[in-house]
Structure 1
Amino acid sequence: MSEKTKNRLGWTAVILTTIIAGIWALWGSVENFHEGWYFESFIRNIGLMFLQYLSLTMIFIILSSISLRLPRVGGSLFIGFGLYLCFFFFNRITFTTVVMITIPFTILGLFYWFGRPRPRRLAYAVIIGVPLLIILVSSIPNAIRVSERVNDGNFDARIVTGNGVTLVWAPEGPGWPEKGVTWYDAKEICSHLSEDGTTVTDSVLNIWRLPTVDEAVRSMARHGKNAGGVWNKTAKKAEYKITPDKETPLWNVHSMVIYWWTATEADSEKAYIVTYNGGVWPRLKTRCPGYLAFRAVKKLNKISILSETESK
C-alpha cells in the first residue's frame, strides 16, 4: 500500500472519529448541565460530567490517540470495543446494533490499522483539540446559567402564586420525593398524604394531588420572577415569556429530579410530565427513572402549615 493511500486512510479515520467525538462532546456537555450538575461538591459534579456524560467522547479520544501511536493496537481496540458494546453492553445482536455499532467500529479499526496520517502531530491536535473545544464552548454558557440559580435552601411547604394560580406545594418528603416513581404511585401517595404533607397515612384523605399541566406551567419561575407560562391545549405546548429554571421555591437545585408528573393525561397509557425549564411531554405512566418524580399540591387554606409565602 502506498504512503499516499495510508495517509488518506489515516486522515479519514481521524476525521470520522473527530466528528463522532465532537457530536458526543456537544450532547454530553448540554446534558450534563441539563440533568446533571446537581451535587453540592464541585469535584463530584466534574466526576459525573466526565464519567457519565463525556465518557464516550473520552473513549474516542483515547482510542484514537493510541491508534496514532500504535496503529495495530489501536485498530484492534476499536474493533474490540465495538464487539463489546454489541455483545455485552447492549447484550443483544440485532440489525441495529450490528449496523450502528459493530460495523462502524470495525471500519474505524481497519482504517487506523492500515492508515498513517501525516503529519501525526496535526492529527493529534485535531482528534484531541476539536472535541475539547466543543466541550468548552458549549459548557461555558450553561455553567454560567447554573451558577446563577436561586436556591434559598427552604424545602418546606411553599405557597407559590403564579400566573393566575395559587397553590401550596408539598414539603420535601413523601409528597416531594428525591427518587423516581410511576404516575400511578404518585397519585396514590398524594391521596394518602397528611395535611402537612409529611406523612403517608393508611387512609385516603385526598387533601393533596398532582398539579395539572396548566397549573405547573403557570407556576414556573426564574430568578424569583414568574415565567409567565401558559398551556396551549390546542397545540399541546407550553409557552413562556421567560424560560424557567431549576430554582426554589419549586425545585431543589441539588436533586437529580428534573421532571415531574402532572395530573393531566395524554391518553389511557400516558400522562404529561413537566421539566424545570418548562418543557412538557407525554410519557408512559409506568415509567419511573430516577430523575422523574412529582411534587404534590393543594389549595391554599387557613390551616396550611407553611414556612414562607411566595408572591410574585
Structure 2
Amino acid sequence: MIFGTLPGGAPVELFELSSDKLTVRISNYGGRIISVVKDGMDMIVGPKHFEDMLKDTCYCGAICGRVANRIAKGRFSIDGDSRTVAVNNGPNHLHGGIQGFDSKVWQVQEAGRNTLVLTLHSADGEENYPGNLEVVATYTVVEETLHLRLEAYADAATIVNLTNHAYWNLSGKPTIDSMTLEIRASAYTPVDATNIPDGRILPVEGTDFDLRKAALLGERNSAAHPDTAAGLDHNYVLDSEPGDKIAAILLDPESRHRLIVATDAPGLQVYTGEYLPQARQGIALEAQGFPNAVNTPHFPSVILRPGQSSTRSITWTVR
C-alpha cells in the first residue's frame, strides 16, 4: 500500500508481513520497521505516520549505512585513499552521513505474506564513500521471529557496516526503566567524550556495564551506577560463537514479554534512547561492527573488497 509521497514526488510504500504470532509493518523508505505487533501490542517505538517519519532524526526502525555508528572526525583511509565524510554528530560521522540509507527509497524486489526483499544502489562517491555498492535486505517473518539478512557487494574497496536501528519497548509504559536487559558480552569498548571508542577492549566484570546477568534498566540510569547514569550508548563485544548467537534478552517482568536478539555481528551497540523525543521511551539494540573500526586496526575489519560480500544476520524473537 502507498504510505506517502516524498516532496520530489517519489511514492513510499508500506508492507505487512505476518504469521500466526506476529504482524510486522515495514516501509521501503529506509527499510524501516514501523511496527511489530504481538498479542495486540506494538513493541516498536517510533513514528507510525508518514509525515512524522519524515521528521524523525533518531533513525527509528531504519537500516543504517553505508557505515552505521561513528567514524572519528569523519576521516578514514583505504589503501592510501584518504577520505573525509560528513560530520553530523558533534565532531564525528554517524550512520552514513547527511543522507544515509535510512533516508533512501529502497527498491522492492519481492513482497509476499512472509517475506520482503529490498535493494539499494549506492553510487561511487555518495556521501564521499568509494565504490559502487549494491545492498540487498531480506525481511522474513516465521512464527514469533522477524529475521533480517543484509548483503552488500562493491566494485572497489570501501567500508560497510550495516545494521537496523529499531527501538523496542515491551511494556507499553512511557520509559524502558521497568524492563530488564541481559547482554551476552564479557567485554566492551570504552569511549571518549564524543562517543568514539578509545581503542581499548575491557572486561565488563566489576563495572557498571556488566549485564551478563539481567539487570533492571532503570538501575542503569541512577547514582548507584555512575558510569551509566546518563544511560547507555556503548558497544558490547559479543562472546564469540560460530554463526548466529544470542546477543541480548530484553524482558518486561510484568507482561512477561521477552525479546531475544540473535546475530552473527561481532558487536552490539546498546542505546537507551536518551535523545528520543521522549527520553528512554525505547531501547536500540544495534547488531553491527565496532564503531570507528576503520581507524582501529585491531577491531574487526569493516573493509569490503571487490569479489567479497559483507553479510549481516539479525533475528528478533518475541515471546
TM-score above 0.5, yes or no: no
Question: Looking at CA atoms only, which structure, 1 or 2, has the larger radius of gyration?
Answer: 1
Normalising by the smaller structure, the TM-score range is: under 0.3
Structure that is richer in strand per residue: 2
TM score, norm. by length of structure 1: 0.25
Structure that is richer in helix per residue: 1
